[in-house]
Amino acid sequence: MVAVAPVRTQPGSTKLEAELWRVLERVPDPEIPVLSIVDLGIVRYAHIERGHVRVGLTPTYSGCPATEVIQRSVRRALEDAGHEDAVIDTVLSPPWTSDWLSEAGKRKLQAFGIAPPAESVSNPRRLFGTPRVACPKCASTATQLVSEFGSTPCKAHYRCTACLEPFDYFKCL
């Protein structure tokens, strides 16, 4: 399956739609607040339909507990910007992938101390390969997986054997 990253500025998109994206860019991910939901790549569309704002959000993981919090934050941000009664859709297909994390998002993660995804997930047959993950503190690739799962569904737990720092790794999905 070829997953297509969300297209921000579609042909014919209006000034108002550009403003919607700016509003959404200020909504933080509740679990990794250094990232906006736009950086995370979970906003599938934002446009005006019959006078109402319509936003499509895709969950990172089926059971991610942040999904409902994000919907509420989006609604509040839009209301604050003067858009009442926004329609918020949950879009499952195509499923979210860590490839949709923006370049700006990856830099923000790195600066925050979370190693960004090390590779693209273009090969769906990969089951047991281990990516080379660089330590976000000292950039050494002498790192070890501690646990496949970390503090949130989207992260794994690593440690750096060069600088001895434990860190979170934003896993590839």
Partner 1 sequence: MSTQSAVRLKAAGSAASATNHTLMRYVLRLADTSLVLGQRLGEWVGHAPALEEDLGLANLSLDLIGQARLLLTYAGELEGRARSEDDLAMGRDGSDYYNLALAEQPNGDFGRTIVRQVLLDAFQLKVYEALQSSSDARLAEVAAKALKETRYHFRYSAGWLVRLGDGTDESHRRVQSALDELWRFTRELFIADDVDREMAEAGVAPKLADIEPGWNALIDDVLREATLKRPPDVPYSWHGKRGEHTEHLGYLLAEMQFLHRAYPGASW
The residues of the shown chain that bind partner 1, judged by CB under 8 A, are 1, 59, 61-65, 92-97, 124-125, 127-128, 146-151, 153, 157, 171, 173
Supply the minimum distance, in Å, between the C-beta of residue 36 and partner 1: 22
- Shortest separation between residue 87's beta carbon and partner 1, angstroms: 18
Would you say 14 or 166 has its CB closer to partner 1? 166
Backbone angles phi, psi at 101, to 5 degrees: -60, 130
Handedness of CA 81, 83, 87, 93 (dihedral sign): negative
Selection from 48, 46, 3, 50 nearest residue 26 by Cα: 46
| Identity of the residue, 73 or 98, whose beta carbon is nearer to partner 1 in the bound complex | 98
- In the bound complex, what is the minimum distance in angstroms from residue 152's beta carbon to partner 1? 9
Given the complex with partner 1, which of 25 and 31 has the nearer CB atom? 31
- Assigned token pair, 28: 């933080």
If you ran DSSP here, which 8-state letter would residue 6 be given? P
CA distance 2 to 38: 20
